[in-house]
Structure 1
């Protein structure tokens, strides 16, 4: 009774699958964690301007023994205890701290753009696996129908052979085609299991009654030139490389600052007990200004500066390389999408023609104008056309998502997913000005 009255499984939509991946995908969670770790570099850089306070405690036992020409003269000892407190406040460090802070902020912005690019990759993989499951299930259904049809043909050929209207060749041909269909069905089921496993890995969901409820075509640009412009202006990969240039530039300035003077104010308080036999306690205080001027460090700073400048040049070249890659991906994705749209019309025409051909061949076989082999060939052509149509429909959807990702628009806000959007700025604001505390903002 429980089985008989169990509710029918609800459809699992593409938007639900994308939202599930956005919330739970391990690749995305790892990228977000990596960004939060990089956020801490801002606080680390800002600590260079803050005071440093340290305390020291020491306890000693001193014993001395005096021996003269006439033998033992005596011993003396002391047990000094000292407590000291030292405060150091940096005043000037060759602009290193300021440039290091800017470098860290640029690195954070670059990593945010990289996170957006990772989000695009994950969402595209989810859409692809979703369409793969739908495609492979359709192909399995077609292969099963093909096996049923060919099984009926084998039985019909056997019946005709038994009454003397057919030959053993007809039976063998039908059995051979059925064996091929059974093999193709086994491969189709294996592909389905693989695509379902991939879908489960990406979304954390079991592939059930999948239904594509999302019209991605409405988000695509109207022309190739428009797609190229959008990709060049806002693709996350390009934005990340632009911030990488800023990061490398501030790194050069920070290293150059090591060759400039540094100024610190140092204050110290100390108390010592039982320092000498006739002194029970001694208090001391000091305040000083320390200026350090580097003159020559064996060429280390010069070499590091040259190295940083070469890295800056590499970052600038990487911007041009990334722009070219984005353009190439955009053009290729546009061509793939356009070709898949055209192929669907041809595939539908092929299926319609193959269906008519099969019906005609079956009728002609009944009146003796066609052979069993003709029917088997017509059935094979129909199944091939149906599989091609299924693959073309899948390719069109995947190509549309690929084009959306190629121009940098494959994000949760563009797709309109019903999820709590991850805001990396919130974590940055929570940690950039923290003076103390070992716990992360989420309580770890």
Structure 2
């Protein structure tokens, strides 16, 4: 049965239509003193414990280089000994008399060793560790990329959910007014109980949708606070879309050349090639120089000894149960595994580019389609509303048309957020989503600064060692 929906309902719906349109665009508007995307990215870069963790792991890798270099330098140690000998001795030379042999002796020993030549085995290990440092730097950069993409996604998702909440609240207000109007019209016999029940069902559904939207907003805000380090304030308007490559082949070429995962994999291949070289030379002789100086003196006596020794040592393996050859084969297998990993990483990076650009193009197409959907849904809604005034449409028809328009507005909000997230995902897939390339106004972490301080193995009491202590204190992280 077709019933007249009444002009009060039509005015309410027209008001809601205008507000829904305004809400859907508020994510793209400008608000004074609001949080911008740059604020979110800066907060993530300066707040992240994950970045701090991986920077510390990089510093630990830096220290492996001076530790390995120590094997190529002279090693000097000292030792001191204080000993007490007590007892008696009887000798025929003294006519069988018993004599005390109680003595107290103190000694000081200095020992030095210096590996002169090992055919470059340890030098290869040092170079391998330098390559490991570079691989760890690339891993840190990859963590930074993932963090900034997560922060950007959190920013746009908060905006998305805020608009969904606003749309849901607006829809609920509209349907509550329609329910009141339906009850009034039912009292005068203008509509049936069916129209009232339809309005009641629509209100109940709108409350459920609002509850879902509010839950999603709370979760989006929690994600934002987790990544950025604080709760989001009012969000500013959408920034300009970042400039990014949309041609798959060109983007893949950049990714293979620049992505941190590719750099890590390449460095790991170099590491393992150097370790194969070192393992093959472990079967060759090692030439080293050694020396010692010892002083021993009897306390309270006249005996003392001073002695120095210097020697040239040549050592080499003869048989170690197959251990050295097994280590060499193991190093070769690890090198082959690293080469296979580089192959896999290259293909994964190229696929990630395809996925990211496909998502970006799909989001752009979805946004354009949602614009057309909104125009069509608005025309349809206006037509259904006019027909309802003539009794040619029911309350359900009007509610359905209005829901279609709200769905179209929601689709536009999602497509707009998805487009921005996908654009930054393309940058991340190409290896270009870093604080430096984005020109974020932050104090950039210099991964080489700490390495330059420790690479020569400064002693603690040197000027460089004291500078290093100050750096370490400044890097201390409070829980």
Do Structure 1 and Structure 2 share a fold, with TM-score over 0.5? yes
The answer to whether structure 1 residue 109 and structure 2 residue 129 are counterparts is no
Alignment of 1:11-410 (within 5 A): 11-66=34-89, 73-218=98-243, 220-274=244-298, 279-410=302-433
Alignment match, 1:5? none
Asked if 2 retains the 8 angstrom alpha-carbon contact of 1:153 and 1:174, the reply is yes
Per-residue deviation, residues 234-279 of structure 1 (Å, max 9, x unmatched): 111111100000001111122223212112211211111118x974
Alpha carbons of 1:33 and 1:214: their partners in 2 closer, same or farther (altered >3 Å)?
farther
Alignment match, 2:438? 415
Name the CA distance, whole Å, in 2 between partners of 1:66 and 1:334. 94
Name the CA distance, whole Å, in 2 between partners of 1:215 and 1:290. 70
Asked if 2 retains the 8 angstrom alpha-carbon contact of 1:15 and 1:213, the reply is no
Q: Secondary structure at the match of 1:397?
A: helix
Per-residue deviation, residues 177-212 of structure 1 (Å, max 9, x unmatched): 110111011011111110111111111122111125
* 1:72 Cα offset (Å): 8.0
* 1:49 Cα offset (Å): 1.3
Give unpaired runs (5+ residues) of structure 1: 1-7
Q: Secondary structure at the match of 2:471?
A: coil
Large movers: runs of 4+ above 4 Å: 67-72, 438-441
Alignment match, 2:477? none
Name the CA distance, whole Å, in 2 between partners of 1:435 and 1:264. 23
Alpha carbons of 1:182 and 1:344: their partners in 2 closer, same or farther (altered >3 Å)?
same
* 1:296 Cα offset (Å): 1.2
Q: Secondary structure at the match of 1:211?
A: coil
Q: Secondary structure at the match of 2:457?
A: coil
* 1:221 Cα offset (Å): 1.4
Alpha carbons of 1:242 and 1:211: their partners in 2 closer, same or farther (altered >3 Å)?
same
* 1:71 Cα offset (Å): 9.4
* 1:435 Cα offset (Å): 3.1
Alpha carbons of 1:120 and 1:383: their partners in 2 closer, same or farther (altered >3 Å)?
same
Name the CA distance, whole Å, in 2 between partners of 1:415 and 1:125. 15
Give unpaired runs (5+ residues) of structure 2: 1-30, 474-479
* 1:141 Cα offset (Å): 0.6
Name the CA distance, whole Å, in 2 between partners of 1:314 and 1:381. 55
Name the CA distance, whole Å, in 2 between partners of 1:50 and 1:435. 13
Alpha carbons of 1:435 and 1:413: their partners in 2 closer, same or farther (altered >3 Å)?
closer
Asked if 2 retains the 8 angstrom alpha-carbon contact of 1:431 and 1:441, the reply is no
TM-score between both structures, scaled by the size of structure 2: 0.87
* 1:297 Cα offset (Å): 1.1
TM-score between both structures, scaled by the size of structure 1: 0.93
Q: Secondary structure at the match of 2:100?
A: strand
Asked if 2 retains the 8 angstrom alpha-carbon contact of 1:107 and 1:247, the reply is yes
Name the CA distance, whole Å, in 1 between partners of 2:237 and 2:139. 28
Asked if 1 retains the 8 angstrom alpha-carbon contact of 2:44 and 2:229, the reply is yes
Alignment match, 2:451? 428
Count of residue correspondences = 435
Between 1:74-83 and 1:141-150, the stretch displaced more is 74-83
* 1:341 Cα offset (Å): 0.7
Name the CA distance, whole Å, in 2 between partners of 1:104 and 1:76. 56
Asked if 1 retains the 8 angstrom alpha-carbon contact of 2:67 and 2:457, the reply is no
Name the CA distance, whole Å, in 2 between partners of 1:283 and 1:418. 66
Name the CA distance, whole Å, in 2 between partners of 1:293 and 1:402. 55
Name the CA distance, whole Å, in 2 between partners of 1:278 and 1:11. 87
Per-residue deviation, residues 328-378 of structure 1 (Å, max 9, x unmatched): 111111111111111111101111222232233233333322211111111
Between 1:28-37 and 1:432-441, the stretch displaced more is 432-441
* 1:414 Cα offset (Å): 2.1
